Structure 1
Amino acid sequence: MASANSFRFLTLAIMVIFGTLILENSRVSADCQIDIPGLIAQCKDYVKIKGPKVPPSEGCCGVVKKLDIPCVCKLVTPEVEKIVSMDKVVYVARTCGLTVPAGLKCGSYVVPPRA
C-alpha cells in the first residue's frame, strides 16, 4: 500500500512541477514541444532518483526521441532535480539514441562525456 501511495505522489509531484514549469516558461516549453503526460506515463520509472539505472522501454524511447534535449534542459529547476535524476535522464536519452552533448547544462547538472 505504501509503495502505491508513494508512486501516486511521485507522479502527481512530477506533473505539478512540469506543469508549473510550462506555465512559467511558456515560450521555451512551446518551442520544446514537450508531451508532458506521455513523458510522465512512459518514463517516470526510468528517471526517478531512487533505484538503479534501468534501460528504458520502447514506449519511453518513443516519447524521448521527440524531445529537443538542449531545449528541455532550459526548463530544469532545483525543484525538478529533487524528484528527477538528471544522470538517469541523460542515460535514458542516450540509450534511446539521442545525442546529448558533454558539457550541456541541465539545471545544476553538467552532462559528462559518454563512458
Structure 2
Amino acid sequence: MVSWKMEKRVFADARMMLMMCGIGVMVMAMGKLPLISAQWECGNVWGVYMQCDRYVRREGPTVQPSPGCCNALESSNVTCLCPYFAQHEDTYSIDKVIYVLNYCGTPLASGTKCGNYTAP
C-alpha cells in the first residue's frame, strides 16, 4: 500500500517534470523560432508558426494549407509578418507564403511588399 507521503512526493515530482518539459519546449522553440520577436505586434504568430510552417517552407511541393493555418492567419497581421519571411528566405518560400495567404482569403493589400514580391 502506498502512503500519503509517497503519493504527495510522486505528484510533486510529476508536476516538476511537466514544468521542466514545458520550459524545455519553450527554450527549443525560441531558439528555433526567430518569429517570437514579432509575436507582440503581429498577432497570432505562434499559431501561424505551428499551423502554417509546413506550407510555406522552401522545400517540398506547394500544397493547400489546412483550415487551422487559415484560422491562424485570420487572427494575425500578415503584412507585419512579411518582413520576417523575407528575412528568412533561405527557410521560407515567398511564393508559397503568397499562395497560402491568397488561398486562405488573407491576401496582402495592393502595393504591399513581401520580400521580392509586390502585391498587385
For the aligned pair, the TM-score class normalised by the smaller chain equals 0.5 to 0.7
TM-score, normalising length: structure 1: 0.65
Higher relative contact order (CA 8 A, sep 6+): 1
Aligned to 1:56: 65
Aligned to 1:35: 45
CA distance in 2, matches of 1:57, 1:34: 16
C-alpha deviation, 1:74, in angstroms: 3.7
- Which stretches of structure 1, 4 residues or more, deviate above 6 A after TM superposition? none
Matches within 5 A, 1:1-115: 15-19=32-36, 22=37, 29-36=39-46, 38-78=47-87, 80-106=88-114, 108-113=115-120
Report the structure, 1 or 2, having the larger helix content: 2
Q: How many residues were matched structurally?
A: 93
Deviations 1:12-53 (A, max 9, x none): 59843213xx1xx6xxx52322332x2222111100101221
Q: Over alpha carbons, which structure has the higher Rg?
A: 2
TM-score, normalising length: structure 2: 0.62
Whether the 8 Å contact between 1:90 and 1:111 is mirrored in structure 2 is no
C-alpha deviation, 1:54, in angstroms: 0.4
Unaligned runs of 5+ in 1: 1-10
C-alpha deviation, 1:101, in angstroms: 3.2
Over aligned residues, Cα RMSD in angstroms?
A: 2.7
Q: Taking every aligned residue pair, what percent have the same amino acid on both sides?
A: 31
